[in-house]
Amino acid sequence: MNPTDDLGTILPGTGVANLRLGMTKDQVRAIMGKPDSITTDDFPDDSESISLHYPAQGLSFDFGSDNKYVLDTIRSERPDIRLFDRVLSGLSVKDALSLFEAQSHLPESDPLTFTDDDGSQVRAYDFDSLSLTLWFVNDALDAVQIGTFWADEDTPLFPES
């Protein structure tokens, strides 16, 4: 089986396909190949995040300085994003929240909402129980972002390799 055969299925706190949270940039590149672009974000607390972007595969991988630059966040914008044995891509906010509620997962607070540069209405719902964020654009699920589970505020729990 190809290590990237099932890039659509989200495994909360773990990863997608053979791409596991806690991997190094070199390990991700060995599976995914050379990224189309690499970006760096600097934050007010002097931390930074380096992101490898693979738009053809609908994936981005973030490596934060707070976690010694290992893979700590995966963002999927694939049309086949799956969780709970359902394709999530394109679901309305109402349908997605109902699906998550049926699995006993509720958003932690009111969504982050803003209008994008192109006029699109964006909403993001955080589910701390899954270390997951759902991103909606104009009421359709556009992306899912997963991160590590946490033992406490300072200790990420990376999956076993």
CATH number, domain containing residue 22: 2.60.460
Domain assignment present for 71: yes
Give the model's confidence band at 153: pLDDT under 50 very low, under 70 low, under 90 confident, else very high.
Answer: confident
**pLDDT, tens digit (0-9, with 9 covering 90-100), for 75-100:** 999 999 999 989 999 999 999 999 99
Q: What is the mean pLDDT of residues 130-156?
A: 94
Residue 13 CB partners (closer than 8 Å, separation 6+): 21, 130, 131, 146, 147, 148, 149, 157, 159
Domain assignment present for 1: no
Domain assignment present for 160: no
**DSSP-based three-state secondary structure for 64:** strand
Q: Identify the CA nearest to 37 among candidates 49, 54, 20, 24.
A: 54
Domain assignment present for 64: yes
Domain assignment present for 145: yes
- How many domains is the chain built from? 1
Q: Give the C-alpha separation, 95 to 89, whole Å.
A: 11
Range of the domain at 147: 10-151
Residue with tokens 């909360």: 12
Domain assignment present for 143: yes
Q: What is the mean pLDDT of residues 21-26?
A: 96
What's the pTM?
0.91
Least reliable range by pLDDT among 21-30, 105-114, 149-158: 149-158
